[in-house]
Amino acid sequence: MMYPMKDLLCMTQYQAYCTVKQMINKFPKKSVRFKDGEYLVMNQDDNNPKPMLCIHVDTINTHCKDSENVITELLQQQIKYDRETKIYSLPNDCDNRIGCLGADDRAGLWIMLKILNSTKDIFKYFSFGIFFDEEVGGKGSSAYKKDYPSYEKGVKCFIGLDRRGVDDVALYGYDNNDLINIFEKYGYKRASGSFTDASNLSKTVACVNLSVGYDFEHTTAETQNMVGAKATYDILCEIAQLNALHLDIYEATVEDDYYGSWRYDSQHSYADATPYLCDCCGSHEPLYDDGGYLVCSDCVGLLSDTDMDFRS
Helix axes 226-242, 103-116, angle to 10 degrees: 40
Residues 185/186/189/190 CA torsion (nearest 10 deg): -60
What pLDDT score does 270 carry?
31
Inter-residue contact 62 to 71 (CB < 8 Å): no
What pLDDT score does 1 carry?
67
| 162 plus 225 within the same structural domain | yes
| 247 plus 306 within the same structural domain | no
What pLDDT score does 256 carry?
61
| 16 plus 117 within the same structural domain | yes
Q: How many independent structural domains does the chain possess?
A: 2
| 195 plus 107 within the same structural domain | yes
Contacts of residue 282, defined as CB under 8 A and 6 or more positions apart, other chains included, come to none
CATH for 224: 3.40.630.10
Return the amino acid letter for 200.
N
Domain membership of residue 192 as a residue range: 5-254
CA 116 to chain centroid, in Å, comes to 17
Inter-residue contact 278 to 299 (CB < 8 Å): yes
pTM: 0.84
**Kind of pairing, strands 155-163 and 168-171?**
unpaired
Task: Return d(Cα 274, Cα 8) in angstroms, integer.
Answer: 28
Inter-residue contact 268 to 219 (CB < 8 Å): yes
| 181 plus 267 within the same structural domain | no
Which parts of the chain sit beneath pLDDT 70? 1, 256-279, 281-290, 292, 296-297, 304-312
| 249 plus 278 within the same structural domain | no
**Kind of pairing, strands 189-192 and 207-211?**
unpaired
What pLDDT score does 271 carry?
33
Length of the chain: 312
DSSP category for residue 297: G
| 108 plus 216 within the same structural domain | yes
Q: How far apart are the first and last CA of the chain?
A: 33
Q: Express each pLDDT in 266-309 by its tens digit.
A: 233 333 333 456 667 665 555 666 676 777 667 777 776 544 33
What pLDDT score does 282 carry?
60
| 104 plus 149 within the same structural domain | yes
What pLDDT score does 37 carry?
95
Task: Return d(Cα 18, Cα 12) in angstroms, integer.
Answer: 10
| 266 plus 186 within the same structural domain | no
What pLDDT score does 307 carry?
40
What pLDDT score does 312 carry?
33
What pLDDT score does 173 carry?
93
Q: Tell me which residue of 301, 298, 296 sits closest to 310, measured CA to CA.
A: 296
What pLDDT score does 254 carry?
82
| 226 plus 267 within the same structural domain | no
- For residue 105, whether the previous peptide bond is cis, meaning omega lies within 30 degrees of 0, is yes
Q: Tell me which residue of 99, 69, 57, 94 sits closest to 288, measured CA to CA.
A: 99
